[in-house]
């Protein structure tokens, strides 16, 4: 995208998936600044509450950072946090093969929910948020399917140990709700939240030069 297509937006994430989803709807953030936070759930915290809390904290932390730097302010900050849960059990972002195997065991043959908290922090202190929920069901995995997926390494760093846009898409037998929410950024709700913050995404659509190839 050209510089003219950029909006005064900071994406509080280093996720290439979230960036690609934003670019899909014609938005190229001016800056990518991940927030460094402790993402450990609080005692008794529900998956929904965790996703909202972390999204809000990320947005506020990066907005506070931007406010202190002349080359960043004033900007709108968009943050998101995705949580995968089976019932009230929050699945980790798998970093070890044991964690990934445990996640697959919980997901196999069951329904689970994917929550993404969205938050937009405005210059001057305003903060708005949304929560989006998608229901997903996996097929019952055979031992060989599980072993082959674990061998792929694709699970590493993924909430719930899988990425629906990758190999694990072959395991999904049912999805109710937003597909991009499971990837990491629900587009309809993101566009709505940014519009409420004064970023009119659709104005970028009128110039084909500003759209992704």
Whole-angstrom distance, CA of residue 108 vs CA of residue 115: 19
Q: Is 207 a catalytic residue?
A: no
Of 3, 38, 71, 81, the catalytic one is 81
Q: Kindly list the distances between the CA atom of residue 69 and the CA atoms of 58, 61, 77, 107, 184, in Å, as whole numbers in the listed order.
A: 17, 13, 14, 44, 28
Q: What secondary structure, in 3-state letters, does the chain show?
A: CCHHHEEEEEECCCCHHHHHHHHHCCCEEEEECCCCCCCCCCCCCCHHHHHHHHHHHHHHHHHHHHHCCCCCCCCEEEEEEEEEEECCEECCECCCHHHHHHHHHHHCCCEEEEEEEEEEECCCCCEEEEEEEEEEEECCCCHHHHHHHHHHCCCCCCECCCCCCCHHHHHEEEEECCHHHHHCCCHHHHHHHHHHCCCCCHHHHCCHHHCCC
Q: Where in the sequence numbering do the catalytic residues fall?
A: 81
């Amino acid at each position: 995208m050209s510089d003219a297509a950029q909006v005064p937006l900071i994406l509080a994430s280093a996720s290439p998936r979230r960036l690609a989803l934003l670019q899909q709807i014609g938005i190229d953030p001016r800056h990518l600044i991940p927030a460094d936070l402790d993402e450990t759930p609080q005692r008794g915290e529900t998956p929904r509450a965790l996703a909202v809390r972390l999204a809000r904290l990320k947005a506020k932390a990066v907005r506070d950072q931007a406010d202190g730097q002349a080359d960043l302010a004033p900007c709108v900050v968009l943050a998101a946090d995705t949580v995968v849960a089976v019932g009230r059990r929050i699945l980790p972002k798998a970093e070890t093969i044991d964690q990934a195997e445990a996640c697959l065991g919980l997901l196999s043959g069951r329904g689970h929910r994917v929550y993404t908290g969205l938050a937009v922090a405005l210059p001057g202190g305003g903060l708005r948020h949304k929560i989006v929920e998608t229901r997903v069901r996996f097929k019952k995995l055979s031992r060989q399917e599980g072993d082959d997926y674990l061998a792929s390494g694709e699970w590493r760093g993924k909430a719930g140990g899988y990425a629906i846009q990758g190999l694990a898409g072959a395991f999904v037998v049912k999805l109710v709700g937003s597909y991009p929410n499971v990837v990491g950024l629900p587009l309809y709700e993101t566009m709505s939240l940014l519009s409420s913050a004064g970023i009119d995404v659709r104005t970028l659509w009128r110039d084909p030069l500003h759209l992704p190839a």
